[in-house]
Structure 1
Amino acid sequence: MTRLQPARQHTAPHSRPTGAARFPLGGRAQALCRALGGGAAMALALGVGTGAGPTLARALGLAPSGFAARLVPAALVSAVALALVLGAVRRSGHRPALLGFGGPVASLRALLIGVAVTGAAASGVFGLATAAGLLRWSAPDPGALAAFLVTNAVVALLLEALPEETTLRGYTWTSLRGAFGGAGAALGTTAVFLLVPGASTVVGAVTARLVGAEGGQVGLAPEGEHPVDYLVLLTVFGLTLVAARTAVREAPLWAAIGTHLTFLTVNRVVLEGDRRHAGWHTVHQDAVVPLLVPLYLLVAMAAFAVIGRVSRRLRCG
């Protein structure tokens, strides 16, 4: 899980590969059940992947700390999550476009918007913090940094960004949008997002024991994170992801995926670069530095809101 880390359906719901479609009306209770189903799919996928993935990697003879070994649980998480959600969408008679997927060009454009907006917000906030003396940096190692960016992007995409956005800002948000409106869907999706980490630790512990491994810690937050701080950050992050997902008309889910990937990458370099051997890291952090993370998320959220508003006005015009 992340660490410190649909509007109206028209008569031809498959003709518009945007976030504007919704599931057929079935009442708020059914919408809530589908929304929780999206969260359950992610919790199950994450628990199975993290619980069984390391054992599977060892069975394949992969070095525990190597890239391939990290890739196994990540791929398992995406495989389970996407199979569950896309299967549910197809059973309802819809296509993946319902969730916010789109064609290659639209998807790449939306992904780059998510990366650019979040990266610019983080660069601005951390740049000001560096100028103010709150952060000092090591000398960068370009080769190590490039290798980290590539391997981290692949693992983070499969372990977190793609499955979480598909299940939550895809399936859960789309389920809630038609029954509860935009604000209700944003808050409801974020609430489900907060339930996933704790539920996934339970699934992960059970799965690990079933495959003969030692069960991990069960709790509301990943090991080493303060639960309250983690959930507050997750709330801000979740709302930012919804803002990204609703800012773009075509393939909007990829804007959220780009935002998610950028968030993970930035934080892992700035806050954990030394431990992760990222090739660049901070050598001094002021006590207020962790507060800069929700700050740059708020900046990104505001930027996505402006982009979405401008986009809607241009369409209306």
Structure 2
Amino acid sequence: MDEVAARAGVSRTAASRVINNVPHVSAAKRAAVERAVRELGYVPNPTARALATRRAGSVVLAVSSEEPGLFADPFFAEVTVGVSSFLDRTDLELVLLLADTPRGKERLRRILSSHRTDGLMLMAVRGDDPLGRLAEETDLPVVFGGLPMTGTPRWYVDADNRGGARLAVEHLVRDGRRNLAMITGQVDLQAAVAREQGFREALLLTGLTPAGVAPGGFTQAGGEAAMERLLADRPDIDGVFAANDDMALGALRALRRHGRRVPEDVAVVGFDDLASALYADPPLTTVHQPVRALGLELARMLAAVIEGQDPSPLVLPTRLTVRESAPPVSG
């Protein structure tokens, strides 16, 4: 550090502030220190830094999902990209932990109890998930990605799931659809519950009753099987809202197999607006939630808490992206 300061022609304090990415350093001094760092090949010692700052220099993103499911789901990939994009602006390193198994949960417990991280981001916490109890027990900052099933945590980032579901139903009703069904997600996830609430609320306001509700587990195969059950019970279904895009893609396959034209016979709306929605056949009308922004704000909130701030919870807005599976309403 002394050599860097001498090469840059600044004080050791100024050099330390630049290297630790502390604000309120002049642009000229910052440029001089960064140039000296490059020229000298200076690399901070993480152990020494941890001892000096009493911080681990890392944060954990823990996801309650098994490995195959996680990496097959573009939603979590987008969240992780968002988290990483913010942490790139800081000195915090990201530790990704899959905590669906007892071993994964025990590993997280050890990390938290030994303070080998500065904070925790939790995703996909289910109703009876031990992750929620771990979050309550630790004295480290914890930010939730999405609300848990019970209680309201101090810090969380979520999307407007109920409002988004209402947008989907309102669009289908404006298009003249009257026999509307829903394919729901996992019943122990708050996002799935909120989207079903939004679906039912919107129908109630229009004086309609659901033509059917079937669980799809947030997977394409689950969505396809749910669509099969709905068609068997109510062949007159003319509109479907699926609680995520994967289930909507499965519904499209089932409808095609039964000779139902989309959108002429049955209109379909999903939720997420991931890349797969654009390349569906036909391209999928879906509720857009800012998934990458959710990850970014999750990391931003945790970094703020680590710095001693007390940010307010954040609910990100959703909007409808209209494509061919439920086209714009004419007139």
Higher RCO structure (Cα 8 Å, ≥6 apart) = 1
Bigger strand fraction: 2
**What TM-score, normalized by structure 1, do the two folds share?**
0.25
Structure with greater Cα Rg: 2
Please identify which structure carries the higher helix content: 1
